[in-house]
Chain A
Amino acid sequence: MTATATRVDESAPNRPVRPPRVISFSQRLSRWDLKVSPYLYISPFFIMFAVVGLFPIAFTAVISFMDWDLVRNSGQFIGVDQYAWILGQPQFWTALRNTFSIFLFSAVPQLIAAIFIAAMLDRNIRAKTFWRMGVLVPFVMAPVAVALIFSNMFGDNHGLVNNILTDVGLPAIQWHKDAFWSHVAIATMVNFRWTGYNTLILLAAMQAIPRDYYEAATVDGAGPFRQFRSITLPSLKPTLIFVIITATIGGLQIFDEPRMFDQFGRGGAAQQWLTITLYLYDIGWGQWNFGRAAALAWILFLIILIIGLINLLVTRRLVRDEGRR
């Protein structure tokens, strides 16, 4: 406000010119303090982000167009060859398929389970806090520890799951041979870890639903299931969208679980459970080909961007729907 007024004053030609004022250094300092300090206070984050976030991203883009030798720190510009190589690899497409397959196997059952567990926890039960904290326990465990335990359970010959199956007279499942079952096994690890986390977020959203709705519905004679379907679910929409988007981004970057699934960590002999990040890691740190790894990183980035955009469009539509309702 004042700034605009001053500027108008100065630009007006008919005003008498003010005599130049000598400003002392301390005055100037306090002026700078006012102008610069806020930026200094918020700068640590942006400096950190530029160093560990932006810079590596930009440098990755540069390297992705080069044949890079890490040891000698030199590279040769070769254009889009690295991208072409990646897209021409059958492994890449298998990895893409696996990533989406594992993502679907984990995200869908996980969210359905999370909604129902949250609905249970939303009711009047004894020792509420205990149960609510309980669902978060798996999330606190280190992913590698989870993967270690589960890959032991999913052993082909001596695993716990197969031992139980054969004891009951069912055939043993070839967890490390069949692509479908390996995805199920890996998705189980993901679900174990993330269901509780999503449950708590959805529970928080459920608690925010005004209780009046339920009271009115009860008066109208709606049963618990009808209430869940007609009140709880629609009110959860915005939260569900958030949960779905975070699950998508996480799912497309899945790494720990497939890496720990066998002793080599390279996704299986026929790439049964090779995911994009696993493939990226192998090209970079297994074959020391940073040019190709950087190109793959950018391809993954674009994939996530596209999926993110689709998510955004869907979100907008759903939210508008809700507004109309």
Chain B
Amino acid sequence: MTVKLSRRTKAIAGIASAASIAIIATGCSAPSDSGGGDGKVELTIATFNDFGYSDELLQEYMDENPNVTIVHNRAATSNDARANYFQKLGKEGLADIEAVEVDWFTEAMEYSDLLAEVPADAKGRWLDWKEAAATDGEGRLVGFGTDVGPQGVCYRSDLFAAAGLPTDRTEVAALLEGDWDNFFSVADQYKAATGKPFIDSANSVLQGIVNQLETAYEEPDGTAVATENADIEDAYNTVVERAVPISAYAGQWSDDWFASMANGEFAAMLCPGWMHGVISGGAPEVTGWDVADVFPGGGGNWGGSYLTVPADGKNVDAALKLADWLTAPEQQVKAFVNAGTFPSQSDAYEDEGLTAFTNEYFNDAPTGEIGINRAEAVTVATFKGPKFFQFHDALQNAVTRVFDGVEDQSTSWNTWVTEVSAF
């Protein structure tokens, strides 16, 4: 019965995954000449967006290991990669190394027994919380941390000046230093002076606050505490009462939001390292953007990925070796220079390639050094259970409803409670 079912499901998965045909095609061709008698190994690595693993970087590894050929498949978005990952995990067709985004990493951790363990000598080189999140209940570390998203504050110095606020990045850092309350009062001040919203979106504030909580919606033992968690209710109320009035948009990534980056609708954004590229890409003509080395309420991390090695792959040992190499400090710094993905290990933070890095677009801000400070300020690793994404998405909707004026504060909260109690 089980055999029959598994074959059937494979057929269905095959049919359903029309969207990822390209990935299937490469996945199927992979085992052809790998593990041959002459010691030649073909390794496939699947990533998404831009991990900074350029052809030159991979060629470097192939030069050091002449018996290895690397095939790099890049999915366009993390959603495509997610669909592909869960369709094939535990079956066939995944690459030897698969990248997993932090948003769906906890879902993948539910199947940690299907993933190969990180070699013992690599353990301990990542930031503590980065490594803790990839360790399962039995103490197996199954993910090689790639980047992290230490958050700072990006701001428009020209708009700050117009509102009578300081413009120098150290002065702005001093101004925003402190808790969220202080941040909101600066925002109120800006709004009073200009009549315009201070920050881009209310849900980015929610994201920032939730990423500073020990537990969000689920306890590590699996019980859902979402609706009883006083911290979450506080976060919701704070965002609705203080952040909604000073935000230009409810959420990020809409067409309007992208268009707004360039036209000065708002003066600041909470920004993890990878957001720098989004801003400079969305507003290439604007010259006022700068980065302040500060984040309300201490440090905060948003985003970052892992590399995993499916345990039933054809070349698990060789794949572990490559993943190890790719996530070593030197390579992480190279990836950072290539694509801005911020390293997740403290050894990389002594590398001059990172410490001396300045970003021309952001007024030559030392984004390397700021990132290091911001990463080290992160003290809490929020526990994100397998349903984190669902809970958080629904809460963001609750904030959006208030922002849009569709429902009031308490109605929207109650809608959320009803909605998530069915999960």
| B-binding residues in A (CB < 8 A) | 51-52, 55-56, 59, 70-75, 85, 88-91, 151-152, 155-159, 174, 176-177, 262-264, 266, 269-270, 272, 285-288
Contact = CB atoms under 8 A, between A and B. Distances in A.
Contacts of A88: 422
A176 B253 CA distance: 14
A73 B256 contact: no
A159 to B, nearest CB: 8
Given A71-B86, A73-B5, A155-B254, 9 more contacts: A55-B11, A59-B12, A72-B111, A75-B5, A90-B418, A158-B259, A269-B400, A269-B406, A270-B415
B89 interface: yes
A278 B336 CA distance: 37
B259 A288 contact: no
A173 to B, nearest CB: 13
Given A52-B15, A73-B5, A269-B397, A158 B90 contact: no
A92 to B, nearest CB: 11
A286 B13 CA distance: 15
A73 B114 contact: no
29 contacts: A70-B9, A70-B13, A70-B86, A71-B89, A71-B90, A72-B90, A73-B9, A73-B90, A85-B422, A88-B422, A89-B422, A155-B256, A158-B255, A158-B259, A174-B404, A176-B254, A262-B254, A263-B253, A263-B254, A263-B257, A264-B393, A266-B393, A269-B250, A269-B401, A269-B406, A270-B397, A270-B400, A270-B415, A272-B406
A16 B8 CA distance: 56
A242 B83 CA distance: 37
Interface in B1-56: 2, 5-6, 8-9, 11-13, 15
Interface of B: 2, 5-6, 8-9, 11-13, 15, 83, 86-87, 89-91, 107, 111, 114, 250-257, 259-260, 390, 393, 396-398, 400-401, 404-407, 415, 418-419, 422
The prevalent SS among residues of B at the interface is: helix
A288 B107 CA distance: 10
B406 A177 contact: yes
A323 to B, nearest CB: 44
Contacts of A155: 254-256, 259
Contacts of B400: 269-270
Contacts of A159: 255-256
The prevalent SS among residues of A at the interface is: loop
Contacts, number: 88
Contacts of B83: 285
A115 B299 CA distance: 63
Nearest to B87: A70
Nearest to A72: B90
A176 to B, nearest CB: 8
A55 B16 CA distance: 13
A177 B249 CA distance: 12
Contacts of B404: 174, 176-177, 269-270
Given A85-B422, A158-B255, A263-B253, A71 B111 contact: yes
Contacts of B405: 177
Contacts of A52: 15
Nearest to B3: A73
Given A71-B89, A73-B9, A287-B390, A263 B255 contact: yes
Contacts of B111: 71-72
Nearest to A88: B422
Closest 4 CB pairs of A and B: A269-B400, A269-B397, A263-B253, A177-B404
Contacts of A85: 422
Contacts of B9: 70, 73
Contacts of A269: 250, 396-398, 400-401, 404, 406
Contacts of B397: 269-270
B396 to A, nearest CB: 8
A156 B256 contact: yes
A75 B5 CA distance: 10
Given A89-B422, A177-B405, A74 B2 contact: yes
B308 to A, nearest CB: 13
Contacts of B8: 55, 59
Contacts of A176: 254, 404
A154 to B, nearest CB: 9
Contacts of A177: 404-406
Contacts of B2: 73-74
Interface core residue of A52, A156, A157, A272 (most chain B CB under 10 Å)? A157
Given A74-B2, A157-B256, A269-B400, A56 B12 contact: yes
A75 B12 CA distance: 15
A159 B257 CA distance: 12
A74 B255 contact: no
B401 A270 contact: yes
Contacts of B398: 269
